Structure 1
Amino acid sequence: MTKPSIMALVLVTTVLGFYCAQGNLHRPWLLLWTLIGSALSCAGASVLNQYLERDEDALMNRTRRRPIPSGTVSPAQALSFGITLVLAGLAVLGWQVNLLTAFLSLLTCFLYVLVYTPMKKMSWLNTTIGAIPGAIPPMGGWAAAANGLDFGAWVLFLILFAWQHPHFYAIAWMFKEDYKKAGFKMLPVVYPDGTMTLAQIMAFSFALIGFSIMPSMIGMSGKIYFWGALLLGAVPLYCARAFQYEQSVLNARKVLLASVIYLPLLLGLMVIDGIF
């Protein structure tokens, strides 16, 4: 119920924000409390998301075995568990880190649970709305280390914001029949011919390249990162172009795989550049 893959992304990007804010990972106890609080809040938000989508999850092949629709956990248990986790995470961040980090975590939970989740039934723009809370974690790490937000934190936000669009549009394309069955207004469901989905994937693939080189432009990273980011950005763009030429599940999966490989390599490159 706590979606470990999403939590892993949140924690890794939180560490990146913490590192970029001070140029190192000193103050390990502060980082540890930041990660504990962030993990609790993230887990709670994921549980609450599944609580709200329990009826839809029961209709989809990829989600019908989740704890609530399968009957392993009752809706009431999930609701209380999710709220407890979120409150515990906010308490840890507020008392052991700082109030700004706690606020960013609260904002993430609010946008994810109470804005993005219902938006999935209302508009295909839900992916863009959902990309906002998905891009806040590195800002939380930055705020934890610096007790404030500089322009660099917003650059990390933009990178994560752009990256999520090709990633989640590829997933939406692969499982569009499932989403349609559940009544989710994902872009490939609303525009089944694929034109809009492909346009969005291409647009954000280009935007991602532009955002990814910004750290070098503002002095956060150097030439190693700059050229590496350009080279890495060409891979998801190439996969997006292939998907544009042939709309198939295979090419959508390639876009997804490229995004999964791209992000950790880009983040690792940023750290390596900082070391050397």
Structure 2
Amino acid sequence: MYSFTLKSKFSKMEPVEAAVKLQKQKAKSIVSIYLELSKLNILSLVLVATFLGYYIGNNGIGSWILLTSTLMGTAMTSAGAGALNHYLERKPDQLMNRTKNRPLPAGTISPLSVIIYGVLMVVFGSIILFVKVNMLTGFLSLLTAFLYIAIYTPLKRITWLNTSIGSIPGAIPIIGGWTAATGEIGTMAWILFGIMYLWQHPHFYAIAWMCKDDYAAAKFKMLPVIEPDGIRTIRQIFWHLLLMIPISLLPVVEGSLGTIYLVGVTMISCAFFLSAVPLAKNQSHKSALLLLKASVLYLPALLIIIIIDLGLKT
């Protein structure tokens, strides 16, 4: 009798435990789907750029509430734009090895759900910026989303200049951080925009070189696809890296940053430039990956240098 009762209890508990475990797995799966739709890699770079603009514009953190509202609104708008990009590129994504397992090509979520999520995130993210930050920052977030979704995304199938045009919405968030702190677009904001605009070219050309076969399959007009020998791609990378060096020194001339920044940014800019040399020599996947890693490290390194410089000035 005892053994029967004990077995009965376990037999009743097991389906419940299994159901709870299944629900947890489903919830985890749903969360992971929406995180992937939000393009966390791009979102993280957007937030670093926004924080850079805010921190320099405010000479520090200032109001934590204002900073949190700025980052939250920007993150939501960026996530929504990323999701809508997923929707617009759902068919090309089916043709590329690196994207064929994304939520839409894999069929793990419906296109309508992606549209609803994307629109809601853009709308509510912008509302947070309009209400909690200021009108100018809210407008810039909407402008960024519009340029990314309506201009850059379709241009990828039309012209190799999509990288240069797409770098405009990619550089606006750093201005958004500045306007969140100051309420206006000053000279320094445009200098920061220039740094971000130029930085994106070697970053995305490195990705395009590594993924050129996938891009060719999807009929994306990336420069390494339309010109396989890589000469123009290398030229574009070096031109933008060369321009970045003097532009990155302008904050010292403008007066916002000092000697620590001057020394630090010169070092990381030269290191960034040198990281492109192996790609020019052998044009290999490994060399492109080196350049990509250097580009990813550049922004947090720049942020640390700026924090140290401003910290010593106060």
- Aligned pair 1:151/2:187, yes or no? yes
Q: Find 1:190's aligned residue among 212, 226, 231.
A: 226
What does residue range 225-244 of structure 1 map to in structure 2 within 5 Å? 225-244=261-280
Q: Find 2:113's aligned residue among 74, 77, 90.
A: 77
Q: Which protein is bigger by CA-based radius of gyration? A: 2
- Aligned pair 1:162/2:201, yes or no? no
Cα distance between partner residues in 2 of 1:4 and 1:241: 29
What does residue range 40-189 of structure 1 map to in structure 2 within 5 Å? 40-189=76-225
Cα distance between partner residues in 1 of 2:177 and 2:296: 21
Q: How much has 1:108 moved relative to structure 2?
A: 0.2
Aligned positions, number: 276
Match of 2:23 in 1: none
Q: How much has 1:27 moved relative to structure 2?
A: 1.2
Match of 1:267 in 2: 303
Q: TM-score, normalised by structure 1?
A: 0.98
SS at match of 1:148: coil
Q: Which consecutive unaligned segments of at least 5 residues does structure 1 have?
A: none
Q: Give yes or no for contact 2:48–2:299 (8 Å, CA) kept in 1.
A: no
Q: How much has 1:6 moved relative to structure 2?
A: 1.2
Match of 2:30 in 1: none
Cα distance between partner residues in 2 of 1:266 and 1:12: 10
Cα distance between partner residues in 2 of 1:233 and 1:131: 19
Residues 191-222 of structure 1 show CA distances to partners (whole Å, capped at 9, x for unaligned) of 11101100001101111112111111111110
SS at match of 2:276: helix
Q: Which consecutive unaligned segments of at least 5 residues does structure 2 have?
A: 1-36
Question: Which letter maps to 2:170?
Answer: G
- Aligned pair 1:19/2:70, yes or no? no
Cα distance between partner residues in 2 of 1:227 and 1:164: 22
Let me know the Cα RMSD of the aligned residues: 0.9
Cα distance between partner residues in 2 of 1:5 and 1:263: 13
Cα distance between partner residues in 2 of 1:25 and 1:262: 21
The 4+ residue runs of structure 1 with deviation greater than 6 A are none
Residues 221-259 of structure 1 show CA distances to partners (whole Å, capped at 9, x for unaligned) of 101111111111111211212211211111111111111
What does residue range 214-229 of structure 1 map to in structure 2 within 5 Å? 214-229=250-265
Match of 2:67 in 1: 31
Q: Give yes or no for contact 2:152–2:166 (8 Å, CA) kept in 1.
A: yes
Q: How much has 1:48 moved relative to structure 2?
A: 0.3
Q: TM-score, normalised by structure 2?
A: 0.86
Question: Which letter maps to 1:68?
Answer: L
Cα distance between partner residues in 2 of 1:133 and 1:274: 27
Question: Which letter maps to 2:271?
Answer: V
Residues 51-90 of structure 1 show CA distances to partners (whole Å, capped at 9, x for unaligned) of 0000001110111111111001111111111011100111
SS at match of 1:213: helix
More moved, 37-46 vs 258-267:
258-267
Q: Give yes or no for contact 2:53–2:189 (8 Å, CA) kept in 1.
A: yes
Q: How much has 1:24 moved relative to structure 2?
A: 1.5
